[in-house]
Each structure stands twice: as structure tokens, then as C-alpha cells.
């Protein structure tokens, strides 16, 4: 028997069963499955904007990988009416440039730095056509010395023309939106927004002062930013935190540069030679 209490709770001699609901997560696309038109990055007529938090000559992942991604995506796009625009941070203060890029690599204008980026893309990455076809735009930025991070000044979305809002790729969406100026949201501005998560800021926060408070707050803030500003999240590794389970996938969207494989082959040859025995890093006595 059971009684219906005044609070509407059933009390009686019966067992309760605990039900665990698995988190919802997107499944990978199936072979032959049609792609939703607004999300089809493979459509060469699409106008794509890639926004990142760093630029060459700073050889950090969020400078190099988005540049190569943007360059790769330009292939065949201009003839189909599409385009790829890479948005990079312009450090206005010479002191910021000196700390980030080094004393011998300072730029007077964004155009001067753009030439440096295109030259690297052409000569080092061997992507001559992409170095000419890729569009590059700049947003004003500053360096937070304590965090060694670059943040925007002003509303980045206001810099994007209304007729080029097909798809946006946010490299580090949480980072881009921590100090975001008031303005139109990314998901309202663009038809489709993909966030690529590079960094485990939660782990960084664990090593900072007041980590007991800072780390959980960082985890919540990162999840909030990713969930609010992206339709889809791509994590580079499964070791990264869960930001929005129903939106995220783990995919290696960086690929591997040929130069990396060439370096491996060269090292293999060296280690098999007489010099390999005295190699300072990989030798048996290292």
C-alpha cells in the first residue's frame, strides 16, 4: 500500500529504479548522407571566414594551423564564386609586438605583416596559389602579459560584410569571446559557426594563483562561450574537457605537414648512421 502525501510524493513498499540518461552527442556523417546546405564547407561557392587568436611570425598553433587550413580551403573556391577570409589580430602597440614576435620582427602597418604572412605561405608552406588567393583581414588586438594571450579590441563581427556570412570557423571560440565587445552574436551573424577547440585552459588554470576558484570558473566560462557562440564544436583531442556534449566531435582537422614527415625521415637516416650514436636527444647515451 502507499499514501499520497500532501506534497504529492508516493510512499510505499516498492523498489525504485534509478535511470541513467546518456549524454546526447552528434554522430558522424554516414557515407552518402546528404549534407545540410548551410553547413557544407565543401561547397566551393561558400564564403568562409576563419577567425583566430594569433598570427605569424608567432609560431604558435593558433597562428600556423588556421593559416594552413584557410590556405587549403581556398583551392578551387575563387572559380566557383566563393572565398576564404582569414581574420588575424593586429597588435597595435610596438611593445606587444616585441614581446610576442621578438625584437627583430616588428611591423609598422597590418599590410607589412600581411606581406610577411603571404611570403611564409608561398616560400615555406609551398602554397603559392593560396598565398595569392587567400583574403586576409585584421582586427585590433592587445596582449595580456600575465597570460601571454592576445585579445581583441572592438566588435569583430562588425568587420564582416553582410553578404559574406555563409560559414564562420572560430579558432578557440572560448578565447575569442572572453573579452568580447558588445555586438551581434556569431550565430546570428553567420548561417553556420564551427568552433575549433585547441587548448585545455582548465588545466592551465589549475597551475595559476587561486586555482581552487579559478579552475572551476574557467571550465564553466569555456563551456558557456562555446555553447553560446557555436553551432558545432570540433575538439582536436578527446583529452579536452566537455564543453557542449550535444554539439561536439573529436576530429583531427589539422592534418600533418609534409615538412614534419621529412624531418622524421631525416632523423631516421641520422640515427642509423654513425652519428646516431652520439645524437644529443635520441642517441643511446642521451
The full DSSP string for the chain is: -EEE-TTS-EEES-------PPPP-PPPPPTTPPPPGGG-TT-TT-EEEEE-S--TTS-SHHHHHHHHHHHHHTTTTGGGT-EEEEEEEEE-SHHHHHHHH-TT---SSHHHHHHHHHHHHHHTS--HHHHHH-EEEEEEEEEETTTTEEEE-S-GGGGS-GGG-SEEEEESHHHHHTTPPSS--HHHHSSEEEEEE---HHHHHHTSTTHHHHHHHHHHHHHHHHHHH-SEEEES-TTSPPS-TTTEEE---S---HHHHHHHHHHHHHHHSGGGGG-TTTSTT-
**Confidence band of 23 (pLDDT split at 50, 70, 90):** low
Helix (H) or strand (E) holding 150: strand 149-152
Q: Residue 238 pLDDT more than 80?
A: yes
Q: Residue 2 pLDDT more than 60?
A: no
**pLDDT 10s digits, 171-209:** 999 999 999 999 999 999 999 999 999 999 999 999 989
In a domain, 175, yes or no: yes
**pLDDT 10s digits, 91-114:** 999 999 999 999 999 999 999 999
Question: 177: domain CATH number?
Answer: 3.40.50
In a domain, 183, yes or no: yes
In a domain, 26, yes or no: no
| Cα–Cα distance for residue pair 193/184, rounded to 1 Å | 13
In a domain, 197, yes or no: yes
Q: Residue 256 pLDDT more than 60?
A: yes
Q: What does the angle CA 33 – CA 38 – CA 43 come to, to the nearest 5 degrees?
A: 75
What is the pLDDT, as a whole number, of residue 156? 97
In the predicted model, what is the mean pLDDT of residues 218-228? 96
Number of compact structural domains in the chain: 1
Query: Could you tell me what percentage of the chain is helix, strand and coil, using 3-state DSSP and rounding each to the nearest 5?
Result: 40, 20, 45
In a domain, 158, yes or no: yes
In a domain, 4, yes or no: no
In a domain, 124, yes or no: yes
What is the pLDDT, as a whole number, of residue 19? 58
**pLDDT 10s digits, 145-163:** 988 999 999 999 999 999 9
In a domain, 27, yes or no: no
Domain that holds residue 139: 35-277
Find how far residue 125's CA is from the centre of its chain: 20
57 cis-preceded (ω within 30 degrees of 0):
yes
pTM of the predicted structure, to 2 decimals: 0.84
Q: Which residues pair with 249 in a beta bridge?
A: 234
Q: Residue 24 pLDDT more than 90?
A: no
| Cα–Cα distance for residue pair 91/53, rounded to 1 Å | 11
Comparing 18-32, 102-116, 138-152, 240-254, the range with the smallest average pLDDT is 18-32
Amino acid at each position: 500500500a502507499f499514501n499520497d502525501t500532501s506534497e504529492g510524493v508516493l510512499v510505499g513498499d516498492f523498489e525504485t529504479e534509478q535511470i541513467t540518461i546518456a549524454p546526447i552527442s552528434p554522430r558522424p556523417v554516414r557515407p552518402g548522407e546528404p549534407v545540410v546546405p548551410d553547413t557544407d564547407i565543401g561547397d566551393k561557392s561558400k564564403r568562409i571566414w576563419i577567425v583566430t587568436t594569433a598570427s605569424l611570425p608567432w609560431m604558435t598553433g593558433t597562428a600556423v594551423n588556421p593559416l594552413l587550413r584557410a590556405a587549403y580551403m581556398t583551392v578551387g573556391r575563387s572559380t566557383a564564386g566563393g572565398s576564404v577570409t582569414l581574420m588575424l589580430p593586429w597588435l597595435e602597440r610596438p611593445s606587444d609586438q616585441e614581446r610576442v614576435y621578438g625584437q627583430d620582427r616588428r611591423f609598422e602597418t597590418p599590410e607589412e605583416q600581411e606581406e610577411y604572412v603571404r611570403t611564409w605561405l608561398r616560400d615555406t608552406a609551398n602554397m603559392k596559389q593560396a598565398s595569392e588567393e587567400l583574403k586576409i583581414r585584421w582586427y585590433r588586438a592587445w596582449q595580456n602579459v600575465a597570460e601571454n594571450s592576445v585579445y581583441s579590441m572592438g566588435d569583430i563581427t562588425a568587420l564582416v560584410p553582410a553578404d559574406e556570412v555563409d560559414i564562420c570557423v572560430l579558432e578557440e571560440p572560448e578565447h575569442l569571446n572572453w573579452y568580447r565587445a558588445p555586438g551581434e552574436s556569431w550565430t546570428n551573424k553567420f548561417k553556420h559557426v564551427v568552433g575549433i577547440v585547441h587548448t585545455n585552459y582548465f588545466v592551465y588554470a589549475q597551475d595559476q594563483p587561486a586555482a581552487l576558484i579559478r579552475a572551476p570558473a574557467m571550465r564553466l566560462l569555456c563551456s558557456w562561450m562555446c555553447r553560446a557562440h557555436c553551432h558545432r564544436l570540433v575538439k582536436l583531442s578527446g583529452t579536452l574537457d566537455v564543453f557542449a556534449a550535444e554539439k561536439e566531435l573529436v576530429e583531427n582537422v589539422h592534418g600533418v605537414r609534409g615538412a614534419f614527415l621529412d624531418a622524421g625521415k631525416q632523423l631516421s637516416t641520422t640515427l642509423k648512421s654513425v652519428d646516431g650514436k652520439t645524437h644529443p636527444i635520441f642517441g643511446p647515451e642521451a
